[in-house]
Structure 1
């Protein structure tokens, strides 16, 4: 439609949509109607966003098999646009199987496998030096954090904000995020704080700037990405660290947390942007810290965390600002300092610590909650521990960022991404700056800031 009527802006939007959602679009019947020239244009584009290069290969096969007689002669040129060196050995086995079926399906033989093997095995194609580079519309932003150091005096909490400028896919399993510095928070550095995005603006509240009893904070700031400007807002009523800050409706809710090293809170506060004020809501039915929270259908769900004895919990409950706590089905594993995100009408819970007699140990088991059926299901465990990590959902994939390992107290300086379609965790490379007790969110950044 855009092409027929010469609507350049609509064409740009449509092409960008195809590039960002290529795997899903390639599974639709309409995809098979694409002209070969247009398909080739998409395949050659570095901005093609796919979980692996195998998805590109499968798309070409689907397109060819829709009309083998007419399209087999075009298959070789299309296959040259597939970046076979980006595949793993396991993925490449499928290329051989498909090639054989093509050779046996008709009178025309298409020797795809030899050329693909040449590129895959010897890397002589110019696509080896190139990467699939995707620029998400919303930027994944990291805020603050701490770094582990055996000498407490040499620890250096962070004031920095970083954003993911692009997602890059390379040879084999190599995937990485290109991180860029966004700026610094005003006031003191902080970790174990809360972050939230409301009406396109970033809110940063509470946290710690170090480890003494007097180092817990209640200051709140708002960042406007359009003007690249920070504003000091009204303070929280209570000092809070290791709490959750969630956006629901027209406000932000600061839930639980620690007010000092050994005392956690049952209080909840709501922030109103219109009046720049915090007001207390119905308290939790027990003091909590290190819990995780997510919003679905306008309602706030809270999982796990530490109770007043600092034991890890298995609880899952619905919190209402006026009615308080309604308990739901419990998780199968206890955890605190973990992540929980809403994705495709499910809650994905990952990371954190769990109880081990008088001590804590890393929780690698991951669980998925169905809010309609009130049931839990275990899914693929994390490849490494992520305690005190940040999390976000970007383009229908779950990101777990940073944290540390409880067993040896080492930093988890990697980002891992979970794809519900493949049910697989992928390493997305190393992170910048301090990585423990950081926070993450999605924020739309104007082009002048990205550049």
Structure 2
């Protein structure tokens, strides 16, 4: 029975073969010394980038371990060549230990690829995987290293056996195997504990002994010390997988050699089969390779297979744009599903203007629907940035027309679409001027202003001056510009972001301006509309009402598909501050009352970190703010205090960037506006960073592209407050601040979100005259400008906002 290769799309197959041949020729030209130098450089680049990111190397081995795996034969070639591999990011799957051990247990239950027979004193036998037992048992590992097990005669799979001493009975051995494959022992109780401990002692399994001791302490009601915290089953499997990886690095128990491009790779069959459908079929479906100890794979690159094998042992993959497409091809070809998932995560999360069109072509060639949808959507929402890249000039005319005809196209004005088409045509005018007329049918000329339309006429005159009189764009464009109605649905650009911008609560003046009205409504932005010129609008829909009382100066966050609304005020007197908490499930369209906070809070901040909510500072009563911070665990429905701030604070802004909580400005205990910026850690407390250039409170701060953008709020002006229009951005690497465009109007007590890589500031008021406009402004980082996006539908002051994925029936 022959093993069938995965069929690749023709264009990628040809490219793959061509590059493989080029690399092999480079190896022959440069010799072994050059290859080893490349490998050293690759390891140093990966180590540098990973240390900078706080990660361990995705190649999962120590310096020199590569030589131990490949023996004295030819080394492993490098994929980077002389051009370098670009910036390397190590992607990690936190669930990988659970996934691979699930597959390993299935193999064990089916007696697939087992190579060790354990026999008890009374003759009971169990077939297991030696590498799994060796990872937890020093007794088995030593015999595997020394080769002291009893070989089974006439066995092509090189099986071996170990006879156990009488102290290891059936109960104890079953518990050992359960622990090896699942990280836990469900059968550990008072009756079985003696047998389990005896087996763990004979087989030298210290982690199982500690597990039994912890179980005993728990059942006796004794609380373990902090350093004796019970290790979860997932953590146990992580430790076991690390032990397996160490055995692989030391070439202990490796039972198959893969010959790839002159290099040899020593691996464990069962690990390859558990992480790759290709190798599972090769080793378990009766093929001749299932009995071979040396297998040739001439159609692969050793460098790529080496990295994929390493991922099989640790769930980590170092990736860069220079290698990700080839790595994805190989992972797909060999059906390394864990590695393929990491490659797809990289392609989605690291996508940028210069690479999105390549990602779209790749996804289309391989029929990866989800990735293709992500890439196409990236092109639509970043069209202006994409249109100035070299890849844009290579688009087929049909693809370009599909893009510019799409309603979801996001551009500052229709003039940007016209300019993009002209730049595409002028990249190859002889071939493309004939297609200009068709492409112009995708430009919505009625959305242009008179001033913008002048450029269309100027471009047409330039074309005529260069002798292209047969190309006449102006007449048809003028007809469409002058006689079409821009208000019609098919003329406006109407974009529907995947995540809905939800605004919650707030308050506002009643129509006669003599009374403030707290609000309990929820609204969401269903679509963003681009009209004539720079005219923008948002389509708002009512989502419902909060239970209980109205809220303003409250906390809002989204976590795991649910909306959380916490604390705040329901009116303006001393006793009107709340500590209640609610969650909203959009799938069920229902609210749930949660445990109250420990502290009354308004004018505070809420952030999400590692699956928990943090309520930070705030006012507990009128003119009295606090330094306390408390965390909400949704699994236990409980709030608990953590390390406090080093001073009382309210009206501040807090957000999370790269897993760290940053807090800026706010009022101190004397209600003076601050310039401070600091990191907050729930256990270590406050670490101060560089101060802002301007003092501010009741402002907005949002993370975008690795920076923190601060906008709006109030500032001190002698003995009173005034508006703070200045905006600034913080670079956490340089620990420095830089000014950016000031807000067009004051936004005090406004809400803010980042939607599709743009910052939205919503509502608020003007401190100088207390007027309310309800305007929404959006900051475009490419143009460094604020643009008006229309008005809020309801309350405008002290509102809060977040992004929430809503069921489709809300959006129809």
* Cα gap change, 1:209 to 1:153, in 2 (>3 Å): farther
Cα deviations by residue, 1:102-155 (Å, 9 ceiling, x for unpaired): 4445555533345445544xx313556321000000000001110135999842
Inter-CA distance 196–3: structure 2 relative to 1 (3 Å threshold): closer
DSSP 3-state at the match of 1:54: helix
1:254-275 CA deviation, whole Å, 9 max, x = no partner? 1100011110011111111111
Contact between 1:316 and 1:328, CA under 8 Å: does it hold in 2?
yes
> Is 2:689 the counterpart of 1:321?
no
* Aligned mate of 1:177, from 538, 547, 550: 538
1:240 matches 2:604: no
CA distance in 2, matches of 1:254, 1:128: 45
Is 1:402 the counterpart of 2:763? The answer is yes
1:39: Cα distance to partner?
2.0
Aligned to 1:223: 584
Query: Retained in 1: the 8 A contact 2:494–2:530?
Result: yes
Tell me which residue corresponds to 1:275: 636
Deviates most, 178-187 or 30-39: 30-39
Q: RMSD of the TM alignment (CA)?
A: 2.3
Offset of 1:43 from its aligned partner?
1.8
- Residue equivalent to 2:706: 345
Distance 2:684 2:655 in 1: 18
Q: Contact (CA 8 Å) 2:583, 2:594: kept in 1 or not?
A: yes
Taking the aligned partners of 1:22 and 1:204, their CA distance within structure 2 comes to 35
Any idea what SS the aligned residue of 1:56 has?
A: helix
Alpha-carbon distance between aligned partners in 2 of 1:272 and 1:8, rounded to the nearest angstrom: 36
Alpha-carbon offset, residue 338 of structure 1:
0.4
Indicate the residue corresponding to 1:297 in structure 2.
658
- From 491, 506, 512, give the equivalent of 1:145: 506
Secondary structure of the 1:317 match is strand
Supply the distance in 2 between the matched residues of 1:325 and 1:87 (Cα, whole angstroms): 51
- Contact 1:392–1:442 at 8 Å: present in 2 too? yes
1:446 counterpart residue number: 807
Secondary structure at 2:421 match in 1: helix
- Selected match of 2:736 from 343, 359, 375: 375
Q: Distance in 2 between matches of 1:443 and 1:184?
A: 16
Shift of residue 88, structure 1, vs aligned partner: 4.3
Partner of 2:567: 206
Aligned partners of 2:412, 2:763: CA distance in 1, in Å? 21
**8 Å contact 1:317–1:328 — kept in the other structure?**
yes
Q: Tell me, what secondary structure is at the counterpart of 2:587?
A: coil
How far apart are the structure 2 equivalents of 1:45 and 1:150? 40
Shift of 1:44: 2.0
> Whose relative contact order is higher, 1 or 2, with alpha carbons under 8 Å and at least 6 apart?
1
Q: CA deviation at 1:245?
A: 0.3
Mean alpha-carbon deviation: is it higher for 12-21 or for 343-352?
Answer: 12-21
Q: What TM-score, normalized to structure 2?
A: 0.53
Partner of 1:50: 411
Q: CA deviation at 1:348?
A: 0.8
Report if aligned partners of 1:216, 1:260 keep a CA contact under 8 Å in 2. Answer: yes
Which residue matches 2:795? 434
Q: Equivalent residues in 2 for 1:53-202 (5 A)?
A: 53-88=414-449, 91-92=452-453, 94-105=455-466, 107=468, 110-113=471-474, 115-117=476-478, 119-120=480-481, 123-125=482-484, 129=488, 130-149=491-510, 154-202=515-563
Distance 1:31 1:184 in 2: 46
In structure 2, C-alpha distance between the alignment counterparts of 1:345 and 1:13, rounded to whole Å: 21
Give distance in 1, aligned partners of 2:662 and 2:474.
Answer: 50
Q: Confirm or deny: 8 A CA contact 1:193 1:206 kept in the other structure.
A: yes
Q: Deviations over 1:299-354 (max 9, x none)?
A: 11111101111111111111111111111111111111100000111111111111
* Structure-1 separation of matches of 2:679 and 2:664: 9
- Deviating more after overlay: 241-250 vs 90-99: 90-99
1:41 aligned residue:
402
Superposed CA deviations along residues 399-429 of structure 1, whole A, max 9, x for unmatched, are: 0000111111111211000101011111111
Any conservation in 2 of the 1:140–1:164 contact (CA below 8 Å)? yes
Richer in helix (by share): 2
Residue 29 of structure 1 pairs with residue 390 of structure 2: yes
Deviation (angstroms), 1:20 = 3.2
Structure-2 residue corresponding to 1:260: 621
Larger deviation, residues 192-201 vs 78-87:
78-87
Matches of 2:707 and 2:457, distance apart in 1: 37
Pairs aligned (count): 449
